[in-house]
Amino acid sequence: MDKIEGRNPVIEALKGTRKIEKILIQEGIRGGKIDEIIKTAKDRGIRVERISRTKLDHMASSHSHQGIIAFAEKKELVTPMDIVNHARDRGEAPFIVILDQIQDPQNFGAIIRTAYAAGAHGVIFQDKRAAGITPIVVKSSAGAIEHILLSEVKNINYAIEELKRAGLWIAGADMAGDMLYYQADFKGPVGLVIGSEGKGLRRLVRENCDFLVKIPMPGEFSSLNASVAAAILIYEVLRQRQ
């Protein structure tokens, strides 16, 4: 069972396909999105309970539950090829974001949010030494996690090889990149690999990429937050495709 915390994430979960078991709402809060959630839940036969702020605080993982927590079945995960086939079924060149051991749950959630907003077909992440799908990730995605395909794999390099065999070009984000990110061609089938906070891409992952791109950094900092770098690159893919 997954916990979904916060008003927007719960609203998006109600729009999605996951079965929601129950929704807990803080005593005394009403109006706006809360009323919308209660009405939708009642229409769908989902149990709604009022509990104290203290109990909600005790249950919450994200520390920003906004007076509401829903309990839902676990997010359905897919394979990398499911994402490729989903894109092709829509008549589109696959665009997949691949995360190489992103460990900060807020970065993970923010990247999912950006990927969905920019029309990426899915996100691939590793099952170990990386952030999993936690309440903080769900909250940070602002509900986008309900609407985008996610694939959890045991080995990022194996996933990259599978995508290459399916015809995708794999671009890695790396400060030692071959070219500036806006010089690359992202119009065709592409997998965009984002490295972990601080360490970037691991050596074997970097070597497995077809090409590396970098973001110009004329200032004194040598790197960007992972979710910020991901957003810049993800939106460059969207810009080129439009």
For the chain, which residues make up each domain, given as ranges? 2-72, 80-241
Closest CA to 128 of 225, 74, 190, 196: 196
Instruction: Please report the pLDDT score of residue 82 as a whole number.
Output: 98
Within the chain, residue ranges assigned H as helices are 7-15, 32-43, 53-59, 80-89, 105-117, 135-140, 156-165, 203-208, 226-241
What digits encode the pLDDT tens for the residues 92-129?
A: 999 999 999 899 999 999 999 999 999 999 999 998 87
Average pLDDT over residues 27-45: 92
Instruction: Please report the pLDDT score of residue 49 as a whole number.
Output: 96
Q: How many helices (H) and strands (E) does the chain have?
A: 9, 11
Q: Are 59 and 129 in contact (CB under 8 A)?
A: no
Q: Are 207 and 87 in contact (CB under 8 A)?
A: no
Instruction: Give the β-pairing of 149-153 and 20-26.
Output: unpaired
From 45-54, 100-109, 212-221, the region with the lowest mean pLDDT:
212-221
pLDDT band per the 50, 70, 90 thresholds, residue 1: confident
What digits encode the pLDDT tens for the residues 51-94?
A: 999 999 999 887 789 999 999 999 999 999 999 999 999 999 99
Instruction: Please report the pLDDT score of residue 221 as a whole number.
Output: 65
Instruction: Please report the pLDDT score of residue 129 as a whole number.
Output: 79
Distance, CA of 182 to CA of 175 (rounded, Å): 14
pLDDT of residue 219 exceeding 80, the answer is no
Domain 80-241 annotated CATH 3.40.1280.10? yes
For the domain 2-72, what is the CATH code?
A: 3.30.1330.30
Which class for 15: exposed (0-12), middle (13-18), buried (19 or more C-beta within 10 A)? exposed
Instruction: Please report the pLDDT score of residue 102 as a whole number.
Output: 92
Residue 73 DSSP one-character state: P
pLDDT of residue 237 exceeding 70, the answer is yes
Instruction: Please report the pLDDT score of residue 46 as a whole number.
Output: 96
φ/ψ of 100, rounded to 5, equals -95, 90
Distance, CA of 73 to CA of 56 (rounded, Å): 19
The residue with tokens 């997010």 is 75
Q: What predicted TM-score, i.e. pTM, was given to this entire model? A: 0.92
Instruction: Please report the pLDDT score of residue 14 as a whole number.
Output: 94
In three state form, how does the secondary structure of 24-59 look?
EEECCCCCHHHHHHHHHHHHCCCEEEEECHHHHHHH
Q: Which residue has the higher pLDDT, 132 or 197?
A: 132
What digits encode the pLDDT tens for the residues 143-188?
A: 999 999 999 999 999 999 999 999 999 999 998 898 999 999 999 9
What digits encode the pLDDT tens for the residues 8-34?
A: 999 999 999 899 999 999 999 988 899
Q: How many residues does the chain have?
A: 242
Instruction: Please report the pLDDT score of residue 32 as a whole number.
Output: 86
Instruction: Please report the pLDDT score of residue 161 as a whole number.
Output: 98
pLDDT of residue 226 exceeding 80, the answer is yes
- Cα separations in angstroms, 26 against 12, 50, 96, 190, 207: 19, 6, 38, 44, 51
